[in-house]
Amino acid sequence: MSWVPLESNPEVMTKFLHEVGIPKKWGIIDVYGVDPDLLAVIPRPTLALILLYPVTSKSDEFKNERESKVKEAGQDVSENVYYMKQCVPNACGTVALIHSVANNTDRIELNDGYFKSFLDSTKDLSPLERGQLLDESQGIIDTHTELAQEGQTEAPGEGAKVNHHFVAFVEKDGSLYELDGRQSIPINHGPSSPETFLEDAARACREYMARDPEEVRFTIVALAANE
């Protein structure tokens, strides 16, 4: 069954995280641009960037071609990367939040709750099995549904065609990864570190924007310390 899409709204996304068990010291904040002076004001540590981009024939063509090339050439992916497929339409916002938190549990001490239970039950599963189990995780589903109604714009109904998609960027074991539940593999964007992560992820976001320079419907938020 399709979900009601989550708005790219830091207040709503932060509330979602806190309700499923992420400590209050972490939250989602707006990223107003990828220039160095705008990145400088983002609180540190910054653990993930989430990009909302418009889905077009051009973006889909690029992603499909890139995935084929990466599969053919091969890539190094840390066994510690937590990756899941998106099996439910319109769940991409929640999948991006899961990717953002699940790959930073060495720095986020999860409270008992829906999120910790989901990670504990999926840690040894395949990306596809993780995605399938999300559709059975009633606590996360109910929280998503509740907060999808709290955005600044009227939420579309279940099953509505949504022309935007969330993708998460995280640093894991010395590499920058792009995690997109619509693809079958994570994408390794090369070396990174906790200290350079924000700049490295912003560069990857700039590449998204450069591929479609006439398009302005990009939004970026960050998972960062909020106290």
Looking at the DSSP assignment, which residues form a beta bridge with residue 225? Answer: 26
Q: Check if 165 is active-site.
A: yes
Is residue 92 flagged as an active site residue?
yes
**Interatomic CA distance for residues 162 and 144, integer angstroms:** 16
Q: Which of 92, 99, 144, 205 is catalytic?
A: 92
Which one from 144, 165, 189, 205 is the annotated catalytic residue?
165
Q: Length of the chain, please?
A: 227
- Number of Cβ within 10 Å of residue 97's Cβ equals 27
Query: Which residues are part of the catalytic machinery?
Result: 92, 165
